[in-house]
Structure 1
Amino acid sequence: MHSPFVYDYITKCLYQKTGLKLATTLKVSVKSINYFKYKSIFLVGDYRTSKETIKKKCSYITFVENNADILIATINDLKGINLDLSKLPNDSMLLLDGIHKNKKNHDSWERLKTNNNVTVTIDMFYCGAVFFRKEQVKEHFKIRI
């Protein structure tokens, strides 16, 4: 692991035992919201039904329709929203479910990784995290969670 940012995120957030009994992507989202102290979230598509679950675990989070600290969606849902990656805040995160569900999703994930605004991606098999840290060199990671 070459990135202190990613190392800390993985060891101090993702690998921490929390006792959360949630689907993997929701568990990653709740852990990430708490770790990064995100204030706003944009839930897209089927993830809109997760609003109450997230609110119970992260009572301070605000649900918005744009300019959120964290966006949670399936990789296919990205096509249905007008998301300008160049305008996302430096510390924002996309958490995308289903990146390996089929070839089309995997190809979309691979294309997203090549976007000039994307600097860090973390492939967790079930889902993928995308970061836009301008101070960091472009790196891609695969981890087990």
Structure 2
Amino acid sequence: MFKEFREFAVKGSVIDLAVGVIIGGAFSKIVTSIVNDLVMPTLGMLIGKVDFTNLFITLDAGDYQTLADAQKAGAPTINYGIFINNVIQFIIMAFVIFLVIRQINRLRRKEEKAPSSPTQKECTYCTTSIPIKASRCPQCTADLV
């Protein structure tokens, strides 16, 4: 069982997956920072100095100035501003992943279209298909040099 696990763990696909998860986690932090520190403040400024993290609806009769005040008081809230932040983060992540996959697919298409050198040639006497490096036809024994 240990031998099977070792073989599984060192396969290229498992290692690639682990690297992808680590890079994805780091990339997620970058996107979160872009959204929270750049996009949302700019968007909030454009629509009237609105702080999206403080957009919420309280489900009790209390009146709270900020989401932190409502949470401190233990009031139930619907935090639609945080939801908007998360939707924008998702859209940015999805768009970046789309661009990466699009580039990978473009590179794969170029690799598939790359002409390969011929491996077969035709005997000029009997028209049999033979390896390109052959100097004599195996069918009719003609010299091909």
Q: TM-score, normalised by structure 1?
A: 0.22
The structure whose residues are more often helix, as a share, is: 2
* Higher CA-based Rg: 2
Normalising by the residue count of structure 2, what TM-score does the alignment of the two structures yield? 0.22
